[in-house]
Amino acid sequence: MKKVIYFSLLSVVIGVLLMGCGSDEVQPRAINEETDKCPVCNMSVMDNQFATQVVLEDGLSHVFDDLGCMYVWLDENPDEEIAATFVRDYNNEEWIRSEDAFYVYNMDVKTPMAYNMISFEDQASADEFIAENEGELIAADALADHDWEMNHEMMEGHGHEGDHGHGEMDSESHTEEGESTH
């Protein structure tokens, strides 16, 4: 009789443990700059605020060097079973679920693939960035409708770009954070 009780207790304990495993939040993985490559543009993924990540149901994850690359990938792979998508806070580089983030589109911010979209963990820091640098606040659910295009000004002809972009920036100090990430 005792054995039966022990076994039933044990199975309950194991069951609870297994349930605990199942309800675990999907976690983003760390980025390895040496080996991680963006599946869209082939560039090395730097461990910085522009990196994004898609975690699939089967546990695989893809990391991207630019939010725009992730949306290109999502667009090209509609049949993938996605567990979660993550972006990073522009200031503290913490991973956040992409649906909880607030986005700012600013042509002056140099992102690795020039999609010029950055992410923030709360609206206050996004507003703060806009107050300092201008830009357009974009809600998470509006991102899919965003026209993901790289800002390369190639349409305007070779070598004679307009004066758009970098208006805010002191061209000598050239202190944008995105600069070092290309």
Partner 1 sequence: MKITYILFLSLCLLLFPNSISAERPSLQAMINEAEAGGTVMIPPGYYEENITIDKPLSLIGERDVTINSCENAPVVKIKSEGVQLSNVLVEQCNEDNGDLAAVYVTGDQHHLSNLEIQSSQMGLQLFEANQIVVEESTIMGTRKENGVDLWKTNDTTIKEVKIDTILDGIYMEQSHRNTIVQNVIENARYGIHLMFTNDTVIEQNQSQHNFTGAMVMEAQNVLIKNNDFSFNNQNVNSQGLLLYLTSDVVAENNLFASNRVGVFIEDSSDAAIANNIFQSNTIGAQWKNSSDNSLVGNTFNGNVNDTQANESANNIIKNNYWDAALKLDIDGDGVSELPHAADPYFMALVQRIPEYQLFFQHPGITLLKQVFNGPEDELLRDLEPSMVYASSENGQKNDKQIILWFVDVVFILVSFIFIQKWRRSL
Please report, as ranges, the residues that interact with partner 1 according to CB under 8 A. Answer: 34-35, 37, 41-44, 60, 114, 150, 152-154, 158-159, 161, 171-176, 179-180, 182
Residue number with CB closer to partner 1 (20 or 159): 159
Q: Rounded to the nearest whole angstrom, what is the least distance from the CB of residue 141 to partner 1 in the complex?
A: 29
CB 115 within 8 A of CB 99: no
Q: Rounded to the nearest whole angstrom, what is the least distance from the CB of residue 181 to partner 1 in the complex?
A: 9
- State how far the alpha carbon of 46 is from the alpha carbons of 66, 67, 80, 148, in Å: 10, 13, 24, 21
Q: Rounded to the nearest whole angstrom, what is the least distance from the CB of residue 30 to partner 1 in the complex?
A: 16
Q: Rounded to the nearest whole angstrom, what is the least distance from the CB of residue 107 to partner 1 in the complex?
A: 13
User: Token pair of 157, please?
Assistant: 């002809």
- State how far the alpha carbon of 130 is from the alpha carbons of 97, 178, 181, in Å: 21, 16, 21
Residue number with CB closer to partner 1 (127 or 177): 177
Gap between the Cα atoms of 62 and 130, Å rounded: 30
CB 63 within 8 A of CB 38: yes
Residue number with CB closer to partner 1 (127 or 153): 153
Residue number with CB closer to partner 1 (113 or 126): 113
User: Token pair of 63, please?
Assistant: 């990391």
